[in-house]
Chains A and B, each alone.
Chain A
Amino acid sequence: MIELRQVSKSYGPVGAARDVTLTVADGQAIVLFGPSGCGKTTVLRLIAGLEAPDCGEVLIDGEVASRPGWLKAPRERKVGFVFQTPALWPHMTVAENIRFGLKDRKSEAFEQVLGVLDLVGLKNRFPDELSGGEARRVALARTLAARPRHLLLDEPLSNLDLDSRESLLRVILQAHHESGGALIYVTHDTDESEAISPKRIRMQNGRLLQ
């Protein structure tokens, strides 16, 4: 379960998240939507531990993970985060990118995500040899291979063609079903949001409008 209790975060005078309170139970999926700059990405980054809140608390599985001045390390939160851009490490091959977070290099999860995301033929390529759609699949594979309990996805399928989007959405929903954790999905796309969850939350000016 992911909980945010009256969390606020500002960048200088700009309030990116204001008094955000939100609970996403295990097995539940929600969609965050709203205009650009309304604070959706900031909420995901606060949950992932990439930002510290100015006030309030973030709890993951009932334990405090962030409060002002204290952060549990992102890798210890059991969350997977897919960024708006693929953010693949350019000096590593596809296989090395995906294996980076795995303790066991011969992990079954590695072979599994390669198969599920159709990356077997690409595993020795470098990121600059991939198309935009392939890079997004690798980014998703890297996150899923670590078997996170909760998933945070920040417009993971933007700029993809319809077929690729549908197949990746199926993979995401399957991964969410298998992990049994929470899923928070940021998108502007109505079709995507309908496929993910009926629970849609609008954000505006850093606030959640339930």
Chain B
Amino acid sequence: MKAFSRIGEAVYLLVVAGPVLMLALTSLPRAPELWELAFPRGQSLNLLSNSLVLATAVALSDLVCGTLIAVFLWRRSGRLGGGLRLLVLLTAPLPPYIHALAWIFAFDTVNFRALTGLVGAWWVEVMAYLPLSTCLALLALEMVQPDLLEAGKLLAPDQRVLTRILGPLATPFAAAGAGLIFLLCLLEYGVPSIFGAATYPLEIYAEFSSSGDPARVFFMALPLFAAAALVLLATFAGYRGSALNRAWSRPGVDLPFHWPAWLRWAQGAALLLLAAQVIVPVATILTLTKSLAMLGQVLAFSTAETRVSFQVSLLASLLSLSLGAVVAHRLRQPGPMQALWWAVVVLPLALPASLVGAGLIDLWNRPSMLALQRTWAMPVLAATARFAPVATLVILVQLSRTDPRLLEAAAILAPSRIRAWVGVRIPLLLPGLLASAGLVFILTAGELATTLMVVPPGGSTLVLKVYNYLHYGSTETVAALCLLLTLATLLPGAVVVRLVRRRK
């Protein structure tokens, strides 16, 4: 079992850290020549500030709105609570640029033209990441042990319990959530490019497209990586503390809280935004698709792309799941290497997608690997390099929520190690394993930036097809493709949610 873990760890290092390490190794000798690219000036500096401002604005807006909705949903059971939670999950898997298309169509319909540039990108990204920020804020609230709140309620009004106990205890994880959204926005260029907002990741992609020189991309990406890594280090301390805290598996109780009027009004406004981010994309796509016949037509000429998207997403999720499970166990082992492993898992999240793409090309672009480059293995490796860290962190949370005594008892009582794994460990970890696989599947299905760089010649995924049709396809075709992509991501998501619920 130890040898298996070591092999898994080595493969993880190769797939996740390998591309960027290889890029660093081949680029650093050219530092004297290219070093100045790491210090953007003039227009590049403006683009970098645009990216930072946009990502900060989106992360803060989503933190506020997501927290308000989460406080409303927290401890709310019954039909209203269940229905609203479903609403949060419904559009969570949709890639941000589908939201972008929907909002552009919606605002065009009412002749509202203000949705352009950075403002447009901000609005759409706030909407697109609202479900994620709500889920993370909800998780942060549910991690607070109920007896700490009960002890507060016995002594002080609810508003004081909110500001002095619930808020400070939930803040570290909520801040990690805001940090994650900051990263997603900072490193993404799909939505800003749709709104004509020039950002730094787009500049990196443009540089790679024109020069094809991975070393230039490496040095250009350094300031973006530095900003992302700083935010990660500042906010992920909260995640790490929470993920390693075993106590938060205790079930909550139905304790009524009475919030002040201003908070209830703010919650109402945030709930309206939540409803809008569901209604606008769904209504727009359905309206524009016009008929089932159109959907059938699009499905018929996109069969190959749909199959490829499914295969790539499935393989990437299985690979991420296997590697993530091994490394999540490694993260829980104390010792001098633990901090290093945390860096290996967390820092790749700060890598711009274009840099991962360039690194993959640099790592695998060799004559002996030519066969690999002509297959769909490259997009699978690209998705795994980007999303295996996410799978690892989700599995780590599940590991931390599992009572260690149950695993210890299995280790003592099971007649063999395999029986202990199959009979106890895997069933106990199954919700986390399913959630991480589902999440990687959804993220891969919507991944654009890296896939665009490593797709084999003549090939396309569903998301690439949407991206291409955006530029020269008819509105109806784009809408039908979006609907197809939505169904392709929602259906596996629904299956995972159902399986996780059943396990619980």
Contact = CB atoms under 8 A, between A and B. Distances in A.
Given A100-B155, A146-B155, A87 B253 contact: no
Contact of B153 (A74, A80, A85, A143): A74
B256 interface: yes
Interface string A136-153: 000000110010000000
A90 B150 contact: no
A66 B158 CA distance: 18
A48 B147 CA distance: 13
A80 B169 contact: no
Contacts of B487: none
- What does DSSP make chain A's interface, helix, strand, loop or mixed? loop
B151 A83 contact: yes
B165 interface: yes
A71 B154 contact: no
A85 to B, nearest CB: 6
Nearest to A51: B253
Interface in B330-354: none
Given A71-B256, A89-B165, A91-B169, A79 B147 contact: no
Interface string A66-101: 000001011100011101010111110000000011
Of the candidates A74, A79, A81, A83, the one having the most CB atoms from chain B within 10 angstroms of its own CB is A74
A73 to B, nearest CB: 7
A195 interface: no
A50 interface: yes
A73 B160 CA distance: 13
Nearest to A146: B155
A87 B148 contact: yes
Given A83-B147, A85-B147, A48 B165 contact: no
Given A50-B253, A50-B255, A100-B164, A87 B155 contact: no
B1 interface: no
A120 B46 CA distance: 56
Contact of B155 (A85, A91, A101): A101
A65 to B, nearest CB: 13
Contacts of B157: 73, 75
Nearest to A50: B150
B256 A48 contact: no
Interface string A97-118: 0001100000000000000000
A80 B147 CA distance: 14
Nearest to A97: B151
B152 interface: yes
A79 B154 contact: yes
A75 B153 contact: yes
A91 to B, nearest CB: 5
Given A50-B253, A90-B169, A91-B169, A101 B147 contact: no
Which of under 10, 10 to 19, 20 to 34, or 35 or more describes the interface residues of A? 20 to 34
Given A50-B253, A83-B147, A100-B164, A75 B154 contact: yes
B121 to A, nearest CB: 36
Given A50-B253, A50-B255, A91-B168, A100 B152 contact: yes
Interface string B237-265: 00000000000000001011010000000
B475 interface: no
B156 interface: yes
B151 A87 contact: yes
B145 interface: yes
Contacts of A142: 151, 155
Nearest to A145: B155
A17 to B, nearest CB: 14
A53 to B, nearest CB: 13
Nearest to B168: A91
Of the candidates B152, B153, B154, B164, the one having the most CB atoms from chain A within 10 angstroms of its own CB is B154
Contact of B154 (A52, A81, A89): A81
Nearest to B150: A50
Contacts of A83: 147, 150-151
Contacts of B153: 49-50, 73-75
Nearest to B245: A90
B365 to A, nearest CB: 50
A80 B148 contact: no
Contacts of A91: 168-169
B261 to A, nearest CB: 17
A126 B152 CA distance: 17
A88 B169 CA distance: 12
A138 to B, nearest CB: 11
A87 B145 contact: yes
A80 B155 CA distance: 8
Given A51-B253, A71-B256, A75-B156, A87 B150 contact: yes
Contacts of B148: 87-90
Contacts of B168: 91
A52 B254 CA distance: 9
Nearest to B171: A91
Given A51-B253, A83-B147, A89 B155 contact: no
Contacts of B151: 81, 83, 87, 89, 142
Given A50-B253, A51-B253, A100-B164, A74 B169 contact: no
B474 to A, nearest CB: 55
A74 B154 contact: yes
A196 B51 CA distance: 66
Contacts of A74: 150, 153-154
A52 B256 CA distance: 10
A69 to B, nearest CB: 11
Contacts of A85: 147
Contacts of B258: 73
A75 B156 CA distance: 6
Interface in A20-64: 48-52
Interface of A: 48-52, 71, 73-75, 79-81, 83, 85, 87-91, 100-101, 142-143, 146
Closest 4 CB pairs of A and B: A101-B155, A87-B147, A87-B151, A74-B153
Given A73-B153, A73-B157, A87-B148, 15 more contacts: A48-B154, A50-B150, A73-B258, A74-B153, A75-B153, A75-B154, A87-B145, A87-B151, A89-B151, A90-B148, A90-B169, A91-B168, A100-B164, A101-B156, A142-B155
17 contacts: A48-B154, A50-B253, A50-B255, A52-B256, A71-B256, A75-B153, A79-B154, A81-B150, A83-B147, A87-B145, A89-B148, A89-B152, A90-B169, A91-B168, A91-B169, A100-B155, A143-B154
